[in-house]
Structure 1
Amino acid sequence: MTPSRTTREDPGVDGTGVLETRLTGLTREEFARDVWARTALLTRRAGDFADLFSAGAVDELIARRGLRTPFLRVARNGATLPDSAFTGPAGVGATIADQLDDTALWREFADGATLVLQALHRTWEPVAAFCAGLSTELGHPVQANAYVTPPQSRGFDDHYDVHDVFVLQIEGTKRWSVHRPVHPDPLRDQPWTDRRAAVAEAAEGEPYLDTVLEPGDVLYLPRGWLHAARAQGEVSVHLTLGVHTWTRYALAEHLAQAALAVLREDPALRGTLPLGVDGPDGELDLVRERLAAAVTRADPAPLFHRARRAQGRPAPLGPLAQLAAVDRLGPGTSVRLRPALAPRLEGGRLTTRVGWLDFPDDELPSVARLLDGVARPAGELGVPLVARLLRAGVLVPGEQGPPL
């Protein structure tokens, strides 16, 4: 390992994005040029993450939020326990048979099991806001899990993920062993279990990085990098932010789908193969020619943007606050674009994660102004337009805080 390339000590906090100010100490440009999808990066003392998550948050989620699977899984010695080992009925008034059983979880944890709180970007607001901000910076979807490991325990064997990760050590310490990939840049349908033997062999070799993460440290691993971690002399709590990176292969899939949609309108390609055909050889030249032409003409952008919208969710919407905003609406009412909508205005159509709306030409300048997320009075935009967008869940009251 080359420390000067993989380690940053005491990052500065004068940048504007969370990537620089809270995770790496690198500007977005530096991270993109030297680290992103290339190499592991350890950042010591990146900051205090107590505002994002804590041991108290773990207890709150498990004991008081009525979580169900799959919002939690439990692992011991490299194996995941069945849900029945830590779930049970919810009691009187709730016909739910698989809520978390805090007593069963305590017993498993005391016996050395790791608790994995999954999808915290859906269940814990500070983490949700952080993930939304990071996703906007990176241009790729971000999700979050928390790993809670008792002293001297390990939840999972050496493995790789099919997404990039940022590991944020919250409490306690954990020793990480990191090895180079055996299968660089795995796709989402190429899990480490397909290469168990190669992973096990590589894990026996000299690690690329062998270090103990302390509270405030951050470790970035591109997809495919092997890793295993063990808690030290106290309970370890860390957040893993999973970055589900878009790939050129995904873009190729969208291009192929778009090309096939073009070929559906080609009479020659819809034609029946000759009677008695026993193979494709006599037809491939025509198919290749028409397919190549379709690929040249096809536009994968709509499919790409649709898939991207589907991989994220808009910021939470409170129905009572929204109704109050509609009822009190007047020229002085402050409104703004709902965060994390992934809006696109093309022609007269606005497409977002909550659907699409068409607008007449005279309303388009006001709609375009809304896309910067800045709060504005309804009178500046047009009260009827604002009323429509509030009812559609595209706008929210402006006093709800800054956009993510």
Structure 2
Amino acid sequence: MDRLPTDGQDPGAPDGSGVLETRLIDIGRERFVREVWGREPLLTRRVEGFADLFSAGAVDELISRRGLRTPFLRVAKDGSTFPDASFTAPAGVGATIADQLDDTALWRQFADGATLVLQALHRTWEPVAAFSAALSGELGHPVQANAYVTPPQNRGFDDHYDVHDVFVLQIEGTKRWVLHEPVHPDPLRDQPWTGRRAAVAEAAKGRAHLDVVLEPGDALYLPRGWLHAAQAQGAVSVHLTLGIHTWTRHGLAEHLVQEALALLAEDPAMRRSLPLGVDGPGGELETVRERLVAALAEADPAPRFHRTRRGQGRPAPLGPLAQLAAVQDLGPGSPVRLRGALEARLEGPRLSTRVGWLDLPEADLPAVARLLDGGVRTAGELGVELAERLLRAGVLVPAAP
């Protein structure tokens, strides 16, 4: 897996074993990166259970008590997705928004064999959110989390492939997974399986690469592009899918080209109009090609890359009342730390984060650089005035003493 330098930014993947190695695989991180990542599926039997992350009780609570709205849930059966209006309704006085989940309608659809898909659990269920954030930090790629709840002997989706890698974590019940090799290896995000329906259907008739029943505690890694279909067995199946939205060389190329075009926009010769009556590139193409190649050689895509990456996730939760108390009680001995999942980077005198940027005086830069290791500091070590500024900006949070 290609990684960019981490100088001047908050820490990502730890050198020791994190959730990838302790919860999802049993072959070691280095071997996973070398032999499996982006190449082939990996089945891991009961490395550790996942009951601490999610459960059937969590499904019931989210659907019946949390006031969730679309698109936090989808409903599907036999390859077809139900319209939102079939399972949403207003929720009465003081909550009359029309697209809140209707638990009675969902119960009836579920009893009739439909799969319930709780989407974006990295935003709505704290244990999953914390786990997803930790995995994202280790992998260096954004992670989303969905739960699939399927009645016995049913399946929600036909054979298909995803445009992102996934880890499947079986929570409750059992589910049979049938995998076939890709018809379009390493698809990009704008190359979904629906554009290759016939090839997918034909490949799914062939011999399976893997045909396995997942049991609670099992984990299955699937690179993007691998065909799969899954069916619950003799009981309700609940599984989590952790979607890894991988950065690709093509994605990096897009940023490089965008930066080169921004440079060319400052070139008066490139802004000049083509001749009247032009009906094709003609003799202009060679000039444009030469200047574009020169701009590509000069362009630095890193700032644009990091801006996009910051926009793909959210920082760790911040409690306004706890934050206000930390500001009011701040003293030299107050322990503070960098807010989690902030994607903080020092770019010259500017601290860029997911919650905005701050321009810092030269004298504060060494203290801020020390913060980026993720350790706990006291306000006195940083300077109380700097600590207060960073607390008010939502960059620092109070730490346990």
TM-score, normalisation: structure 2: 0.95
Question: 1:90 and 1:259 mapped to 2: Cα distance?
Answer: 51
Question: 2:164 and 2:279 mapped to 1: Cα distance?
Answer: 43
Question: 1:262 and 1:195 mapped to 2: Cα distance?
Answer: 37
User: How far off is 1:361 after superposition?
Assistant: 1.2
User: How far off is 1:397 after superposition?
Assistant: 0.6
User: How far off is 1:97 after superposition?
Assistant: 0.9
Question: Which residue number in structure 2 is paired with residue 25 of structure 1?
Answer: 26
Query: Which runs of at least 4 in structure 1 moved beyond 3 Å after TM superposition?
Result: none
Provide the secondary structure at the position in 2 that maps to 1:53: coil
User: How far off is 1:270 after superposition?
Assistant: 1.0
Deviations 1:201-242 (A, max 9, x none): 000000000010000000000000000000000000000000
Q: Trace 1:202-351 onto structure 2 (pairs within 5 A).
A: 202-351=203-352
Question: 2:61 and 2:280 mapped to 1: Cα distance?
Answer: 63
The question of whether the paired residues in 2 share the 8 Å contact of 1:76 and 1:112 is answered with yes
User: How far off is 1:276 after superposition?
Assistant: 2.1
User: How far off is 1:384 after superposition?
Assistant: 0.3
Is 1:370 matched up with 2:371?
yes
Root-mean-square deviation over aligned CA pairs: 0.9
Question: 1:240 and 1:293 mapped to 2: Cα distance?
Answer: 43
Question: 1:294 and 1:78 mapped to 2: Cα distance?
Answer: 47
The question of whether the paired residues in 2 share the 8 Å contact of 1:342 and 1:353 is answered with yes
Question: Which residue number in structure 2 is paired with residue 107 of structure 1?
Answer: 108
5+ residue gaps in structure 2? 1-15
Provide the secondary structure at the position in 2 that maps to 1:177: strand
Is 1:131 matched up with 2:132?
yes
Question: Which residue number in structure 1 is paired with residue 143 of structure 2?
Answer: 142
Question: Which residue number in structure 2 is paired with residue 7 of structure 1?
Answer: none
User: How far off is 1:275 after superposition?
Assistant: 2.1
The question of whether the paired residues in 2 share the 8 Å contact of 1:19 and 1:25 is answered with no
The question of whether the paired residues in 2 share the 8 Å contact of 1:176 and 1:211 is answered with yes
Provide the secondary structure at the position in 2 that maps to 1:257: helix
User: How far off is 1:399 after superposition?
Assistant: 2.0
Provide the secondary structure at the position in 2 that maps to 1:281: coil
User: How far off is 1:26 after superposition?
Assistant: 2.7
Provide the secondary structure at the position in 1 that maps to 2:44: strand
Provide the secondary structure at the position in 2 that maps to 1:399: coil
Provide the secondary structure at the position in 1 that maps to 2:152: coil
Q: Report percent identity of matched pairs.
A: 79
Question: Which residue number in structure 2 is paired with residue 6 of structure 1?
Answer: none
The question of whether the paired residues in 2 share the 8 Å contact of 1:162 and 1:187 is answered with yes
5+ residue gaps in structure 1? 1-14
Task: State the one-letter code of the partner of 1:334.
Answer: P
Provide the secondary structure at the position in 1 that maps to 2:283: helix
Question: 2:96 and 2:58 mapped to 1: Cα distance?
Answer: 26
User: How far off is 1:273 after superposition?
Assistant: 1.2
Question: Which residue number in structure 1 is paired with residue 7 of structure 2?
Answer: none
Task: State the one-letter code of the partner of 2:71.
Answer: P
Provide the secondary structure at the position in 2 that maps to 1:356: strand
The question of whether the paired residues in 2 share the 8 Å contact of 1:19 and 1:26 is answered with no
Question: 1:305 and 1:380 mapped to 2: Cα distance?
Answer: 29
Question: 2:190 and 2:266 mapped to 1: Cα distance?
Answer: 31
Question: Which residue number in structure 2 is paired with residue 358 of structure 1?
Answer: 359
Higher deviation after alignment, 164-173 or 341-350: 341-350
Question: 1:358 and 1:25 mapped to 2: Cα distance?
Answer: 44
Question: 1:280 and 1:218 mapped to 2: Cα distance?
Answer: 53
Task: State the one-letter code of the partner of 1:265.
Answer: E
Deviations 1:353-387 (A, max 9, x none): 01111111111111011111111111111000000
- Between the two proteins, the alignment pairs up a number of residues equal to 386
Question: 1:310 and 1:357 mapped to 2: Cα distance?
Answer: 17
Is 1:121 matched up with 2:122?
yes
Question: Which residue number in structure 1 is paired with residue 93 of structure 2?
Answer: 92
Question: 1:374 and 1:248 mapped to 2: Cα distance?
Answer: 33
Provide the secondary structure at the position in 2 that maps to 1:277: coil
Question: 1:277 and 1:97 mapped to 2: Cα distance?
Answer: 54
Task: State the one-letter code of the partner of 2:106.
Answer: L
